[in-house]
Every structure is written in C-alpha cells, then in structure tokens.
C-alpha cells in the first residue's frame, strides 16, 4: 500500500506524463461558463503589437446587441477579423480547473491498473446586455473615422472631442448608454482613445446561417498592454467575471497594477465532489479565494508552454486537447508557422472586478516565467474488496485519517459546512446530515502552506543574526567605556 | 536607587541599537513574511536562501580581503532582503547571479570612495539587462491604503533616524501631485484612481526603502531634494507614456551614475552608519588592540 501511495503523491508534485505510473485517473472540468456575468478575451501580445479577440456569447435578440470598446488607434479593415466560433471553447476546455481521480490499490490484493478519462460539457451561458445601436449622425464633435462591414458585424470607429458630445451622439443613434458611462468616457477621450462600436447586421447573419455571434478580433500597435475594464463597469453595480487567455512569446503574464495570485491547486478533496458538485466546488473555491485576496486580485488559473514544437506534456492531465498551430493562428499569434521553432506561452487569468475594487484599467506585463501551473484537485478513491489482512486494517485506519484531512481541506478551500458530512470518514459517502450545525473545530483556517516552517526558520536565522550583532555592539560599547 | 539602576541598564541596552540597520533588517524581513504568509506569494525558500547566502558570502570575502568592518554584513543582509522582495526568476542560478551582482557592484563600481549603484537596485535590474530571463512583479503587493500605514510607518521611522526623510517624502509627494493632476484634474478620473496608484506596495517600498539609501544618493541635502523630485518626474513620465509600471527602478538605475557628479559639484559630508565607536575599527585593528 505504502508504495502505491508514494507513487500517487509523486505524480502530484512532479509532472509525470499520462502513463500507468499511477493507478488510473479520471478528469472533469469546471469551465468558465459557470460564472454569471462573465466575458472572455484572448489577448495575444508581443512587442508593441496586440491582438484581442472578444467572445460575444450574447444570448438575447442579436438586433439588440451592441458593444463599445475603447481602442488606442483607428483600426484599418485588415486589423479587424472574425475568429472561429470554437476558439474560446477550445481554450476554455484546455485550461479550465481540473479534477483528477486516483484509485487506491487494495493492499490485500495484487495490483490492477485502471484508466478512465472523460470530460463534462458545460451549459447555460449568460451575458449581460451591453448597449444598443441604430443609425444617423449630426454635429456632436464626434468624427466617424471609419465604417466597416465585417461578417455579421457593422463596425464604426469614432473619435470624439468631449464626452458629452459622444454620449449624445451614441444616445441619438440609438445606443442605450448607461447613466454612469459619461464620466468614464471622458478619461478615454482625453487619453486619445478611439471608440470601436459594434452592432449586428441581422440580414447578413441570416444569410450566413449562423446561430450565434462569432468572436470578433482586432489588432493594433500600442504601448499599452491593457484591457479597458472601466467602461464595462458603467453597466452594473455588481461584479463581473472575465477570463483572459493570453498568448505571449516569453512567459507567463501577470497584472502590473493589481496583485496576481495563483488559485489554490493540487489539493486533496473528498471523493463525493463528483459530477455537478465539482463545478459548485470550484465556483465556491474561486469565491473564497477572491474574498481572501481582498476582492482585488487577479487569479492565475493556468500557465503552460504551448509552443507547437514544445517537447513536454501540454497539460497533466488534459481536460481538453491543447491548442494546435491552427488554433494559435486563429487566436492571432502572428509569429508562428507550421515549421518554425517559435515560442508561445499560454496564461489563463480569471478576474472578478467591481467598480469599487478595480478603480484602474487592468494593465499586464509579460514575465520570463515559464513555470507550469494549473488548477488541479485530486480525489483518491478507497480500495475495494476484502481488507481484512494486517496491511488492510492499517490502510483502513489511514484512510479515515486521510478523509478527515480531506474534509478540513474542503472547508478551508470553499467555506462549506463539512461537519454535515458525518459519514464520509467511515464509508466515503457524501450523505449529509442537514440538522447538524457548523462545528467550530472544523471551521476553515488558512489553507496549508508547505513552506511555512522553512520560512519561519529563515526568519529565525535573521533574528539570530540581529541578536548576535546586537550583543557584539553592546560589548563594543562596554569595551569603549572601559 | 534601584529605578536609576534599571533605567541606566535599559539605556545601556538601547544604546546597542543605535545602528538604524537593525530596524531596516527587522522591517524588511517582516515585509517578506507578510508577502509569503499573508499575500500568498509562491514561496521560493531555497531561492531566498541562495540570495542571502550569496550576498553574505561576497560581503564576508570583501571584509576579509579589503579589511572592512564586520558590521558591514548588516548592509549585505539588507541588500539581500531587498532582493528577496523584488527579484523574480525561474532558475536558482539567477538568484546567485543577482546576489553576486548586487554586492559585487559595491566593490567594483565605485567613484571617490562611494559605490555608484544601490546594490539591491543593481541586483534586480542588471540581471534583466544581462539575461532577459528575470523579472519584476510591480503588482505583487497590490494596492491598499493599509500598505501606506504599514510601509509608511516603518519607513518614516527609518528615514527619521538616518535623516533622509526629505528624500522619500519629496519623491512621494511629487509623484502624487503629478498623478493627481493627470488622472483627476486633466483626465477626469475619480480620485480613487490616483489613490490606487499611490498605495501600490512596490511604489511605497521604493520610496521609503530604496530611493532613500544614504550611500547611493547625493550627500548634499538640497541636491537630494531636487534629485528625488527629478526621479519622480521621470518615473511619472515613463509610466504615463510608456506604461512601464516598474519604471522607478529603471530610472534610479540609470540616474545612479549622475550622483557622483552631483557630489563633486555640491560637496557635503558622506553618510556614516552610526555604530558603537569601537566597532567602526576594522577587525585587524581590533585584533591588534586585543593582542596588545
């Protein structure tokens, strides 16, 4: 038994490729579609060039759909294109948080290997309505810099002299501008930003036979590695979730003006968190992490080298297929081709922003960090069969302790009332005793940090250094007085 | 009688703490602990150890060969803690490199008995220029007014003791005025936007603990004020036009070679760490006196 356990633990800390090294695995995912009020963006950036793809998973009447995005330059027709419908799903499935299941080997039986893999499809997309558009123009000190028809979209690029004029222009042209928008428009106008205004041409859409709006992709040169989140906040009082998939050349992307935190990962969780419960688990885990980080952090959910010729594994385990060259090209990665040895690094950032906690637009920097990261949660299933041998009895004891730890971990990660799971320690079931109240002893503490003792030792060393120096100074004083 | 004895002894004990570097070490290590335990930085314990060991070893060698006072180890520890807080890299070798460059720069890049670069600043910036594989995380502290109290409180105490209060405050106030004028007065953002920028932990740490290093800034007080205002103006200019959030570190790095020139033109007394008199003697002298 011991050997098996060590092997599965090892596979936790080192990224062993999918093989029979551990006793079977199972995969499920918590995709971004779980979060309401969410938007998704693919941000490709290298040097001063940005390619931004926006997912328009808008569910309402498309004739009502409109969107205003501040952009740094007047985009040419070639700089606007439509990306493939499946791009976001592919990136989302590939990089979403994952559940890994291991099956304990019965210590009283010879070892058999299992391998199960499956994915779960998400459902129910929700998107907040943005603004609405119609037609016409007058003199509002607003210049229509360009108009384009791109696929099912009619696009205008506006520049304005002052926010009041722009607001009137938009309102008179049938856009429903949120009351708060005006004072947010002003800073963008003064920063020399243009406005990329999109509405849907329903005739073209009917002709092309598309059911959903396809992702819109824009590219431009700008010093700003930034997403203008402040304008979107004018819409709502609450929070909005945004998933940003970045593709860069050198390494991981992080925010440069907000804290970037890794989502808790590689944690052992109870085996009853299956099916739809895993999704709920991740939603609650994110919510807790978000609150613990002061509601103003950006979370890294995934970071991996996805270079086309990268030799290592591209995920461990894979929930969805890793992006291939055609996906990267579709996302707008311009520095690769089928044969070249070009580098591409993928980062998935999840940010829940609100007007109060995110007063500034979201700026990013690319680091040289190539370390892999993924949101990964581990489930260990108990061995089955006759466990009456000596090893087996010991195993059962260890199992109960392990399950206790898993419950504590669950509470620490999600704030769930784990005291209700009265039977889990004994039989591994997710049966809930609804009558029980939260047991204080099981109340979540800080999630465990392995390096805490080492860090304390380090600090201890520094204090010892200070103390010895202090004693030395005192002696020097005494000597000096003599 | 007894009371007098106690106060005398307490006074004697406190006298052992005249060196402001004690407090610098104490504060910097508590910031590191705050980052690791409270902000959940991914802990790189072995890397911290590498930095500290490298810095202290290089300094110890310098003490031995260049006959420097033993208490200069404190400065090396401060530098290494600064590096732990700022320097990011993937491979352990880079942490050794940063330590070597930081302390090494103190002994190699000198002018008129004063080192040119702030060692921690040099240790962070030089590896980026040399290898391109290391980086800075300007957002790692986040932005909260709490940090202003936390860093500001500790910083003011140190600055007061080393009488460099004017340098840190000039930088911060100039920077604040510039951002407020741009964001709030000109662009029309809400004041919280400026507050968010000014309560950024990296910026506060820079203004209270890096730009105020008495060894690498002008000796003359008036020049220091003008100089730190210039750093603030340039930083503002780079951040607002080039959007490089870590600009302050780069400007300080690029501006460092001007400092010896300023010292030449506007001479003033060089800063000395206040250590109990006897300690300022070198080891060999100590040995000599002991042998005698």
pLDDT of A279 reads 85
3-state secondary structure of A374: strand
pLDDT of A206 reads 81
CA B60 to chain A, closest CA, distance in angstroms equals 14
Q: What is the mean pLDDT of chain A?
A: 77
Whether the CB-CB separation of A248 and A349 falls below 8 Å is answered with no
A24: confidence class by pLDDT, cuts 50, 70, 90: very low
Smallest CA–CA distance from A482 into chain B, residue: B278
CA B204 to chain A, closest CA, distance in angstroms equals 13
Does B172 map to a domain?
yes
Start-end of H helices in A132-275: 163-172, 181-190, 202-208, 229-233
pLDDT of A32 reads 54
From chain A, the residues in CB contact with B81 under 8 A are 462
CA–CA gap between residue A482 and residue A471 (Å, rounded): 17
Report the sign of the C-alpha dihedral through residues B168, B173, B176, B182, in that order: negative
From chain B, the residues in CB contact with A48 under 8 A are none
Residue pLDDT, tens place only, A69-103: 888 889 999 999 999 888 998 999 899 888 888 88
pLDDT of A2 reads 29
B14: confidence class by pLDDT, cuts 50, 70, 90: confident
CA B61 to chain A, closest CA, distance in angstroms equals 18
pLDDT of B253 reads 95
| Final residue belonging to a domain, choices B108, B136, B164 | B136
- To the nearest 5 percent, what fractions of chain A are helix, strand and coil? 30, 25, 45
Closest listed residue to residue A213, CA positions, set A50, A44, A53? A53
pLDDT of A52 reads 93
Cβ <8 Å between B243 and A363: yes
Residues 266-305, chain A: which have Cβ within 8 Å of B? 293-294, 296-298
pLDDT of A274 reads 77
Smallest CA–CA distance from A226 into chain B, residue: B243
For chain A, which residues make up each domain, given as ranges?
2-378, 386-442, 449-482
CA B265 to chain A, closest CA, distance in angstroms equals 36
Instruction: Give the domain range for residue B89.
Output: 18-136
Mean pLDDT of A125-148: 56
pLDDT of B54 reads 95
Cβ <8 Å between A462 and B135: no
pLDDT of A100 reads 84
Does B130 map to a domain?
yes
CA A360 to chain B, closest CA, distance in angstroms equals 6
- Cα A169 versus chain centre, distance: 36
pLDDT of A128 reads 28
Cβ <8 Å between B144 and A477: no
CA–CA gap between residue A67 and residue A56 (Å, rounded): 9
Q: What is the mean pLDDT of chain B?
A: 87
Is pLDDT at A382 greater than 50 in this prediction?
Answer: yes
Whether the CB-CB separation of A229 and A353 falls below 8 Å is answered with yes
From chain B, the residues in CB contact with A298 under 8 A are 139
ipTM of the complex: 0.86
CA–CA gap between residue A104 and residue B227 (Å, rounded): 66
Cβ <8 Å between B77 and A454: no
Cβ <8 Å between B90 and A255: no
Cβ <8 Å between B275 and A473: yes
Nearest-by-Cβ selection for B33 from A186, A455, A469: A455
**Whether B123 and B194 share a structural domain:** no
3-state secondary structure of B82: helix
Smallest CA–CA distance from A48 into chain B, residue: B242
Does B88 map to a domain?
yes
Nearest-by-Cβ selection for B278 from A459, A466, A480: A480
Neighbour tally for A127: CB within 10 Å: 18
Token pair of A329 as six digits:
């090209």
CA A455 to chain B, closest CA, distance in angstroms equals 7
Cβ <8 Å between A360 and B196: yes
**Whether B112 and B216 share a structural domain:** no
A460 touching chain B per CB within 8 A:
no
Residue pLDDT, tens place only, A464-482: 998 888 888 888 877 776 5
**Whether B176 and B82 share a structural domain:** no
Which phi and psi (to 5°) does residue B154 adopt? Answer: -65, -45
CA A355 to chain B, closest CA, distance in angstroms equals 10
**Whether B121 and B178 share a structural domain:** no
Q: Give the position of tokens 């419960």.
A: A277
Residues 368-397, chain A: which have Cβ within 8 Å of B? 368-371
Token pair of B92 as six digits:
């352990």
Mean pLDDT of A329-340: 83
**Whether B178 and B111 share a structural domain:** no
Report the sign of the C-alpha dihedral through residues A18, A22, A28, A32, in that order: negative
Cβ <8 Å between A257 and B16: no
Is pLDDT at A186 greater than 80 in this prediction?
Answer: yes
Token pair of A481 as six digits:
């007085």
Residue pLDDT, tens place only, B46-80: 899 999 999 999 999 999 999 888 889 999 999 99
Ramachandran area for residue B45 (φ above 0: left; ψ -120 to 50: alpha; else beta): alpha
pLDDT of A346 reads 95
Residue pLDDT, tens place only, B145-180: 888 888 999 999 888 888 889 999 999 999 999 999
How far from A373 is each of A262, A289, B89, CA to CA, in Å? Answer: 8, 16, 15
**pLDDT: which is higher, A222 or B16:** A222
Token pair of A286 as six digits:
């994110």
From chain A, the residues in CB contact with B42 under 8 A are 262
| Final residue belonging to a domain, choices B136, B156, B181 | B136
**Whether B129 and B156 share a structural domain:** no
**Whether B102 and B154 share a structural domain:** no
Does B30 map to a domain?
yes
CA–CA gap between residue A274 and residue A271 (Å, rounded): 7
CA B258 to chain A, closest CA, distance in angstroms equals 28
Token pair of A145 as six digits:
């810099």
pLDDT of B172 reads 94
Burial label for B8, CB within 10 Å (0-12, 13-18, 19+), is exposed
Beta strands in A287-344 (DSSP E): 297-305
pLDDT of B225 reads 94
**Whether B68 and B156 share a structural domain:** no
Mean pLDDT of A164-175: 81
Is pLDDT at A421 greater than 50 in this prediction?
Answer: yes
Is pLDDT at A314 greater than 60 in this prediction?
Answer: yes
Residue pLDDT, tens place only, A234-291: 655 678 888 999 999 989 999 999 999 999 988 888 888 877 788 888 989 999 999 9
Of the listed ranges A53-62, A63-72, B81-90, B121-130, the least confidently predicted one is A53-62
CA–CA gap between residue B113 and residue B86 (Å, rounded): 27
3-state secondary structure of A201: coil
Cβ <8 Å between A363 and B245: yes
**Whether B90 and B32 share a structural domain:** yes
| Final residue belonging to a domain, choices B102, B136, B170 | B136
Does B74 map to a domain?
yes
Smallest CA–CA distance from A360 into chain B, residue: B193
A233 touching chain B per CB within 8 A:
no
Cβ <8 Å between A474 and B13: yes
- Percent of residues, chain A, with pLDDT higher than 70: 77
Closest listed residue to residue A246, CA positions, set A366, A342, A70, A98? A366
Residue pLDDT, tens place only, A425-458: 777 776 666 665 544 444 444 444 556 788 888 8
Is pLDDT at A31 greater than 70 in this prediction?
Answer: no
Report the sign of the C-alpha dihedral through residues A256, A259, A265, A269, in that order: negative
Is pLDDT at A122 greater than 80 in this prediction?
Answer: no
Mean pLDDT of B204-232: 92
Closest listed residue to residue A368, CA positions, set A255, A262, A250, A256? A250
pLDDT of A10 reads 24
Cβ <8 Å between B90 and A259: no
Does B87 map to a domain?
yes
From chain A, the residues in CB contact with B241 under 8 A are 223
* A155-161 contacts, C-beta under 8 A, 24 or more apart: A155/A80, A155/A196, A155/A197, A155/A198, A156/A196, A156/A197, A157/A71, A157/A74, A157/A75, A157/A194, A157/A195, A157/A196, A157/A197, A158/A194, A158/A195, A158/A197, A159/A74, A159/A194, A159/A195, A160/A185, A160/A189, A160/A195, A161/A189
Residues 168-207, chain A: which have Cβ within 8 Å of B? 183, 186-187, 190-191
Number of domains in chain B: 2
From chain A, the residues in CB contact with B242 under 8 A are 223
β-pairing verdict for A98-103 and A376-381 = parallel
CA–CA gap between residue A307 and residue B182 (Å, rounded): 41
pLDDT of A20 reads 24
Whether the CB-CB separation of B147 and B130 falls below 8 Å is answered with no
From chain A, the residues in CB contact with B134 under 8 A are 368
Smallest CA–CA distance from B197 into chain A, residue: A257
Mean pLDDT of A192-196: 87
């Amino acid at each position: 038994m011991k050997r098996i356990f060590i092997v599965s633990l090892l596979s936790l800390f080192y990224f062993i490729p999918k093989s029979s090294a551990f006793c079977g695995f199972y995969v499920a995912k918590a995709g971004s579609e779980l979060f309401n009020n969410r938007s998704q963006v693919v941000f490709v950036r290298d040097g001063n060039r940005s390619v931004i793809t926006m997912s328009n998973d808008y569910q309402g009447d498309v004739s009502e759909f409109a969107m205003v995005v501040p952009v740094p330059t007047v985009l040419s027709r070639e700089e606007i294109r439509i990306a493939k419908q499946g791009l976001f799903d592919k990136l989302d499935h590939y990089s979403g948080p994952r559940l890994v299941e291991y099956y304990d080997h019965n210590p009283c039986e010879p070892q058999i290997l299992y391998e199960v893999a499956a994915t779960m499809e998400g459902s129910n997309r929700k998107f907040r309505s943005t603004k609405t558009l119609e037609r016409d123009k007058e003199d509002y000190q607003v210049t229509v810099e360009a108009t384009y028809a791109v696929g099912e979209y009619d696009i205008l690029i506006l520049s304005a002299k002052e926010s009041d004029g722009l607001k009137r222009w938009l309102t008179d042209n049938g856009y429903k501008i949120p009351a708060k928008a005006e004072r947010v428009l002003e800073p963008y106008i003064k920063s020399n930003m243009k406005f990329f205004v999109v509405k849907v041409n329903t005739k073209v859409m009917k002709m092309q036979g598309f059911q959903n709006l396809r992702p819109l992709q824009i590219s431009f040169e700008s010093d700003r590695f930034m997403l203008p989140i402040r304008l979107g906040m004018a819409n709502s009082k609450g929070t909005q979730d945004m998933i940003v998939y970045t593709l860069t050349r050198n390494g991981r992307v992080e925010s440069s003006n907000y804290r970037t935190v890794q989502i808790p990962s590689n944690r052992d969780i109870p085996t009853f968190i299956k099916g739809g419960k895993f999704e709920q688990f991740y939603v609650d885990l994110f919510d807790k992490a978000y609150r613990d980080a002061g509601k103003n952090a950006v979370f890294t959910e995934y970071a991996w080298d996805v270079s086309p010729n990268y030799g290592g594994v591209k995920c461990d385990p894979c929930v969805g297929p890793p992006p291939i060259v055609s996906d990267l090209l579709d996302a707008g990665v311009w520095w690769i081709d089928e044969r070249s040895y070009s580098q591409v690094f993928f980062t998935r950032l999840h940010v829940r922003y609100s007007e109060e906690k995110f007063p500034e637009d979201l700026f990013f920097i690319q680091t040289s960090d190539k370390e892999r990261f993924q949101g990964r949660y581990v489930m260990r299933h108990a061995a089955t069969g006759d466990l009456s041998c000596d090893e087996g009895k010991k195993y059962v004891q260890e199992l109960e302790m392990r399950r206790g730890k898993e419950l504590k971990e669950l509470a620490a990660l999600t704030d769930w009332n784990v005291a209700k799971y009265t039977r889990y320690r004994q039989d591994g079931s997710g049966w809930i005793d609804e009558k029980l109240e939260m047991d204080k002893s099981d109340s979540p503490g800080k999630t465990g940090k392995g390096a805490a003792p080492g860090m304390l030792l380090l600090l201890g060393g520094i204090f010892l250094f200070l103390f010895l120096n202090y004693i030395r100074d005192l002696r020097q004083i005494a000597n000096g007085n003599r | 009688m007894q009371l007098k004895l106690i106060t005398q002894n307490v006074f004697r004990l406190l006298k052992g703490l005249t060196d402001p570097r004690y407090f610098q070490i104490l504060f910097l290590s508590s910031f590191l602990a705050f980052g690791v335990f409270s902000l959940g930085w991914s802990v790189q314990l072995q890397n911290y150890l590498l930095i500290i060991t490298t810095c202290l070893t290089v300094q110890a060698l310098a003490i031995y060969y260049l006959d420097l006072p033993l208490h200069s180890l404190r400065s090396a520890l401060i530098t290494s803690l600064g590096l732990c807080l700022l320097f990011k890299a993937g491979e352990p070798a880079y942490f050794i490199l940063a330590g070597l460059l930081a302390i090494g720069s103190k002994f190699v890049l000198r002018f008129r008995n004063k080192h040119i670069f702030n060692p921690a600043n040099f240790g962070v910036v030089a590896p980026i220029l040399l290898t391109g594989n290391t980086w800075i995380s300007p957002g790692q502290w986040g932005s909260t007014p709490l940090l202003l109290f936390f860093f500001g409180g500790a910083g003011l105490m140190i600055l007061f003791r080393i009488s460099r209060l004017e340098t840190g405050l000039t930088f911060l106030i100039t920077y604040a005025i510039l951002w407020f004028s741009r964001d709030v007065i000109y662009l029309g953002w809400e004041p919280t936007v400026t507050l968010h920028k000014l309560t950024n932990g990296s910026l506060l740490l820079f203004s209270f603990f890096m730009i105020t290093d008495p060894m690498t800034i002008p000796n003359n007080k008036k020049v220091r004020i003008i100089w730190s205002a210039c750093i603030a103006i340039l930083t503002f200019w780079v951040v607002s036009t080039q959007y490089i959030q870590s600009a302050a570190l780069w400007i300080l790095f690029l501006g460092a070679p001007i400092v010896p020139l300023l010292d030449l033109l506007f001479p003033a007394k060089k800063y000395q760490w206040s250590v109990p008199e006897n300690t300022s003697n070198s080891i060999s002298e100590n040995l000599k006196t002991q042998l005698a």
